[in-house]
Amino acid sequence: MATHYEAREDLVRLFSLKELTERERRFKNPELFLEKNFGGGTPARINQGNKELARHTRSKEQCLEGLRGVVLQTEAQRARCGGHENMVPVFKSARGKPKPAEFCIDVFEFPNKACELPMVWASPTQAASVCSLQGKRLCTEDEWSLACRGDPEGGKPTTYAYGDDLDLAVCHTQTRHREIGGKPCDGDTARSAYQTCATDTEPAGSYPACRSRFGVFDQHGNVAEIMTRRDRDDGKLYSQLKGSAWFYVEVAREHDAPRPKNGPETYPDHCAFSPRWHVEPMENAWHANYHLGFRCCATIR
């Protein structure tokens, strides 16, 4: 099935860093950062989840076959996005006419490689540093939502990336939690989550129809994502978690359905949903989880 990497050198090989000046290199020390922040076997480092527990049902070859003929990025888009691979420009429209694009967004969840597993166990502060080392940054909530619901042709926004009606079969959202060794997932602490909660992701792009009109994959399902939000009251930058993971079927709710008064908690995973989960100031945001990843954006200069 999908290749699940554990070794640090294999994980960091999945993405590239920008060219750093000597001053930037001394200040950021990318080699030391990668050494300390990537590696399997622990929830304290960015990885693809606990390999011993994870179950991936689709192979890289199957995923690539599903994407055969799909244009992930045109040469013009790559040039507009500063030469970054697998990024697309996103823009608003006024009266059906496109406005100039102000940012680009990764087509896939980090490491932004077609048919590789997304990475998890990254905190917002770590994710921001990873994006920065690539010459990018974390997406804002508004950017992410526009890439999800907007239309490059100037059409009306959609509720979900793939349309207006909830369809759990379109994205990787129908895989329920599994008991490990006869015990349920225990997410109380990072250690217990790593030991009992399987990261049952699939290779990025395995669900070709789970794609927005701008060409962004997996904004519903696979892993939830880290982004940022500027608070309207105090003006500070906070972490914002959005999207759903592979087990969304357990908590799914139609976007226009009322919140249930009884029973398990549910939520509507539409493009504009703006929850307040694990909100932390970005300079000190350390929440990480077995189902939480991220993707990067880049400002167009």
What does the pLDDT look like over 122-131, one tens digit per residue? 999 999 999 9
Rounded Cα distance, 180 and 283, in Å: 35
Rounded Cα distance, 160 and 154, in Å: 16
Nearest to 226 by CA among 101, 107, 126: 126
The yes-or-no verdict on residue 298 having pLDDT over 90 is yes
Q: How many CB atoms lie within 10 A of CB 126?
A: 21
The 10s digit of each residue's pLDDT in 164-215 is 999 999 999 999 999 999 999 999 999 999 999 999 999 999 999 999 999 9
What does the chain come to in residues? 301
The yes-or-no verdict on residue 263 having pLDDT over 90 is no
Q: How many CB atoms lie within 10 A of CB 125?
A: 19
State pTM to two decimals.
0.97
The dihedral formed by the CA atoms of 273, 72, 59 and 62, expressed in degrees to the nearest 10: 120
Rounded Cα distance, 7 and 147, in Å: 33
CATH for 246:
3.90.1580
Number of domains in the chain: 1
Rounded Cα distance, 4 and 191, in Å: 20
Rounded Cα distance, 113 and 148, in Å: 19
Which residue segment(s) compose the domain that 240 sits in? 1-301
Helix 30-37 crosses helix 124-133 at what angle (to 10 degrees)?
140
The yes-or-no verdict on residue 260 having pLDDT over 90 is no
Instruction: Please report the pLDDT score of residue 96 as a whole number.
Output: 80
Nearest to 243 by CA among 201, 210, 292, 202: 292
The 10s digit of each residue's pLDDT in 8-23 is 999 999 999 999 999 9
The 10s digit of each residue's pLDDT in 267-284 is 999 999 999 999 999 999
The 10s digit of each residue's pLDDT in 82-112 is 999 999 999 999 888 899 999 999 999 999 9
Instruction: Please report the pLDDT score of residue 170 as a whole number.
Output: 99
Instruction: Please report the pLDDT score of residue 272 as a whole number.
Output: 97
Mean pLDDT for the chain overall: 97
Rounded Cα distance, 281 and 94, in Å: 34
Bond into 30 cis (ω within 30): no
24: pLDDT confidence band, cut at 50, 70 and 90?
confident
Strand partners, 120: 47
Question: Per the structure block, which two tokens stand in for 237?
Answer: 């930058």
237: pLDDT confidence band, cut at 50, 70 and 90?
very high
Instruction: Please report the pLDDT score of residue 37 as a whole number.
Output: 99
Instruction: Please report the pLDDT score of residue 58 as a whole number.
Output: 98
Cα atoms in the 13 Å half-sphere on the side-chain side of 279: 10
The yes-or-no verdict on residue 227 having pLDDT over 90 is yes
Rounded Cα distance, 106 and 143, in Å: 11
Residues 6+ apart with CB under 8 A from 56: 1, 2, 4, 117, 200, 201, 202, 203
The yes-or-no verdict on residue 27 having pLDDT over 90 is no
